[in-house]
């Protein structure tokens, strides 16, 4: 690993140790990161240094360190007070959680303020925390690595907006390429003179300079930063989108233009009340919206995707060996969940193998969803039986999982719903089903009913009890029973096998 490069040119391992050297450390160690930005300060504690880490603790303070920096050249005094209070709290929390060291990275505001060095010294003296101050290009690199943690196959432009800067980085083949920093943060834009016309001209001029450095017309843009997430949440509100998970939410260029205009035409206080966006965040949304609008006009992407992962996740990615980086985050998260919550960890793989004859011809994108569903099929067993199906659906659709698009979330959740319930009629989540086509809805039902049968057919391994064969042309679903399977094939198993055959539009046959 290369380590993090600070503004002094030092290359530092921010955690002071390898996080992935031993399996025991990967499984058990809690890793804490604090991101001291121009607007917000956030502490995240990851529960282990895994490929798809779980979030043990997450707290954010909108300190506003960089507010007024362009005018005064110094950190905002009120922001310094709030930041110091938050960092004192975070240091004590980390100690209570057994997180050592707590890695702290500071970006634009601290690196540019004349009193930034004094602030760093005061933080270390009063809290014991050492702030690693990084420059704009390093900030862009770490944010881009955060996106790669969530999207291993990501290709395109990562755009990370903070309070005082906006960074761009190009990613492809799991690597971060060209990167550049710009003064397009909302706090800085508040000081631009010339009214609306002057602001638009300034943003356009800076954006054209960025094109010269990083190239134009990137098909995909990944959006990192609280202001982008706020705009995405407002886009959901405007479109009456049925889901509010921001990670991997997609917007078209046309939608961005319409939403920026819609925001300008509406009362921010009303929008804030409808969406739950904080007051300090929504005040910056109109300026951030102008930047996003020009970003779309300048780079002409086909799609924009929201990432909840950024610098903090990028620091973890920095530590990962290449072999770990190449693993599927969804499958890794599903395996971890099965180990922690299933009655019989390891059964999911056997269930997947038993069901392979039904899904042998699916592509890799569908296959990974089937594999994940099998790993997760028994992880809600502690829920009340009357609510187990809905709990499965809700857990998956709202879970902090990576490498999972919104339609894929719904597909996976619906398959798990059908694992516990034959019908999805009258489901309180019915509005989300609109994100899937009729064929996808049917395929999810088939998968769910297949798991519903296979999961109870045998306690140890369904292949010890029998083997499935599916003949699509003949419309026949065959189950060849072993001697053990003949004893296990009771009334409930028979009913579930028939239900699976009905879902496939096939005739059930047992031998």
Return the pLDDT at 429: 87
Token pair in block for residue 2: 């290369």
Q: 131-133 and 102-106: which strand pairing?
A: parallel
Residue range 328-510 in CATH 1.10.3210.10: yes
Specify which residues 477 forms β-bridges with.
Answer: 470, 508
Return the pLDDT at 27: 47
CB atoms near residue 360 (< 10 Å) = 9
> Angle CA(199)–CA(304)–CA(67) in degrees, nearest 5?
40
The model's confidence at residue 21, banded by pLDDT at 50, 70 and 90, is: low
- DSSP tag of 174: T
Return the pLDDT at 101: 77
Return the pLDDT at 54: 83
Q: What is the DSSP string of 250-282?
A: EE-HHHHHHHHHHHHHS-HHHHHHHH---HHHH
- Cα 402 from Cα 332, distance rounded (Å): 10
CA-closest candidate to residue 354, choices 443, 442, 475, 485: 485
Mean pLDDT over 66-85 rounds to 96
- The ranges assigned to domains in the chain are 4-134, 137-312, 328-510
The percent of residues in the chain predicted with pLDDT above 70, rounded, is: 97
Q: Do domains 4-134 and 137-312 have the same CATH topology?
A: yes
CA-closest candidate to residue 149, choices 172, 168, 174, 166: 174
pLDDT above 50 (res 28): no
The model's confidence at residue 2, banded by pLDDT at 50, 70 and 90, is: low
Return the pLDDT at 24: 46
Which CATH architecture does the domain made up of 137-312 adopt?
A: 2-Layer Sandwich (3.30)
Return the pLDDT at 14: 76
| Distances 181 to 184, 185, 297, 410 between C-alpha atoms, Å | 9, 10, 19, 37
Q: What is the mean pLDDT of the chain?
A: 93
Mean pLDDT over 10-31 rounds to 65
CB atoms near residue 57 (< 10 Å) = 16
pLDDT tens-digit profile of 151-178?
999 999 999 999 999 999 999 999 999 9
The model's confidence at residue 9, banded by pLDDT at 50, 70 and 90, is: confident
Predicted TM-score of the model (pTM): 0.92
| Distances 404 to 110, 151, 325, 361 between C-alpha atoms, Å | 35, 9, 16, 21
pLDDT above 60 (res 104): yes
Token pair in block for residue 420: 């516990």
The percent of residues in the chain predicted with pLDDT above 90, rounded, is: 83
CA-closest candidate to residue 370, choices 400, 401, 337, 334: 334
- DSSP tag of 207: H
- Cα 96 from Cα 117, distance rounded (Å): 28
- Cα 82 from Cα 89, distance rounded (Å): 11
Return the pLDDT at 23: 55
Return the pLDDT at 25: 45
- Cα 58 from Cα 481, distance rounded (Å): 50
* Topology of domain 4-134, CATH: Nucleotidyltransferase; domain 5 (3.30.420)
Contact 31, 99 (CB under 8 A): yes
CB atoms near residue 127 (< 10 Å) = 20
Q: 21 vs 330, which has greater pLDDT?
A: 330
pLDDT tens-digit profile of 107-146?
999 999 999 999 999 999 999 999 999 999 999 999 999 9
Mean pLDDT over 416-427 rounds to 92
Return the pLDDT at 4: 86
Token pair in block for residue 204: 């356009």
The backbone torsions φ and ψ at residue 175, rounded to the nearest 5 degrees and listed phi first, read: -125, 150
Cis peptide before 101 (omega within 30 of 0): yes
The model's confidence at residue 502, banded by pLDDT at 50, 70 and 90, is: very high
The burial of 267, by beta-carbon neighbours within 10 Å (0-12 exposed, 13-18 middle, 19 or more buried), is given as exposed
- Cα 42 from Cα 63, distance rounded (Å): 10
The backbone torsions φ and ψ at residue 472, rounded to the nearest 5 degrees and listed phi first, read: -60, -40
pLDDT tens-digit profile of 362-371?
999 999 999 9
Q: Per mean pLDDT, which of 42-51, 347-356, 391-400 is the most reliable?
A: 347-356
The backbone torsions φ and ψ at residue 35, rounded to the nearest 5 degrees and listed phi first, read: -110, 110
| Distances 101 to 27, 29, 34, 57 between C-alpha atoms, Å | 17, 11, 11, 15
The model's confidence at residue 22, banded by pLDDT at 50, 70 and 90, is: low
Q: 175-182 and 102-106: which strand pairing?
A: unpaired
The backbone torsions φ and ψ at residue 356, rounded to the nearest 5 degrees and listed phi first, read: -55, -40
The position carrying tokens 């804490």 is: 32
pLDDT tens-digit profile of 181-225?
999 999 999 999 999 999 999 999 999 999 999 998 899 999 999
User: Which of 268-272, 349-353, 393-397 is the least confident region?
Assistant: 393-397
Q: 4-5 and 11-12: which strand pairing?
A: antiparallel
Token pair in block for residue 458: 């045998």
User: Which of 5-9, 63-67, 140-144, 222-226 is the least confident region?
Assistant: 5-9
């Amino acid at each position: 690993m290369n380590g993090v490069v600070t503004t002094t040119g030092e290359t530092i391992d921010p955690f002071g140790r390898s996080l992935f050297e031993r399996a025991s450390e990967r499984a058990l160690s809690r890793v804490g990161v604090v991101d001291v930005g121009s607007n917000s300060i956030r502490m995240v504690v990851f529960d282990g240094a895994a490929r798809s880490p779980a979030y043990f603790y997450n707290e954010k303070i909108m300190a506003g360190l960089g507010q007024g920096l362009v005018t005064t050249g110094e950190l905002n005094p009120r922001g310094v007070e709030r930041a110091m209070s938050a960092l004192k709290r975070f240091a004590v929390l980390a100690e209570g959680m057994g997180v050592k060291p707590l890695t702290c990275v500071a970006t634009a505001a601290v690196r540019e303020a004349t009193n930034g060095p004094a602030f760093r010294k005061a933080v270390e003296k009063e809290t014991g925390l050492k702030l690693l101050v990084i420059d704009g290009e390093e900030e862009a690199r770490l944010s881009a690595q955060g996106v790669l943690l969530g999207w291993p196959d990501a290709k395109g432009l990562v755009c990370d907006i903070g309070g005082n800067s906006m960074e761009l980085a190009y990613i492809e083949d799991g690597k971060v390429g060209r990167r550049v920093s710009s003064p397009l943060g909302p706090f800085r834009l508040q000081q631009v003179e010339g009214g609306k016309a002057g602001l638009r001209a300034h943003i356009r001029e800076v954006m054209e300079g960025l094109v010269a450095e990083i190239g134009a017309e990137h098909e995909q843009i990944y959006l990192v930063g609280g202001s982008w997430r706020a705009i995405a949440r407002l886009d959901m509100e405007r479109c009456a989108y049925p889901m509010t998970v921001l990670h991997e939410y997609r917007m078209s260029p046309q939608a961005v233009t319409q939403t920026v205009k819609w925001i300008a035409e509406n009362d921010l206080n009303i929008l804030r009340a409808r969406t739950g966006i904080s007051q300090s965040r929504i005040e910056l949304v109109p300026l951030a919206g102008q930047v996003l609008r020009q970003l779309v006009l300048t780079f002409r992407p086909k799609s924009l995707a929201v990432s909840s992962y950024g610098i903090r996740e990028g620091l973890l990615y920095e530590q990962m060996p290449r072999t770990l980086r190449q693993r599927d985050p969804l499958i890794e998260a599903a395996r971890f969940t099965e180990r922690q919550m299933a009655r019989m960890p390891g059964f999911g793989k056997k269930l997947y193998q038993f069901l392979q004859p039904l899904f042998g011809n699916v592509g890799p994108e569908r296959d990974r969803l089937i594999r994940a569903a099998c790993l997760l099929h028994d992880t809600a067993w502690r829920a009340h039986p009357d609510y187990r199906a809905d709990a499965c659906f809700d857990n998956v659709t709202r879970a902090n999982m990576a490498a999972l698009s919104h339609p894929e979330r719904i597909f996976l959740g619906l398959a798990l719903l059908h694992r516990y319930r034959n019908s999805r009629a009258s489901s309180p989540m019915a509005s989300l089903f609109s994100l899937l086509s009729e064929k996808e809805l049917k395929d999810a039902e088939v998968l769910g009913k297949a798991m519903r049968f296979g999961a109870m057919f045998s306690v140890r391994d369904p292949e010890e009890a029998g083997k499935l064969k599916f003949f699509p042309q003949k419309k026949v679903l065959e189950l060849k029973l072993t001697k053990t399977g003949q004893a296990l094939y009771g009334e409930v198993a028979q009913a579930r096998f028939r239900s699976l055959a009905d879902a496939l539009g096939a005739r059930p046959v047992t031998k």
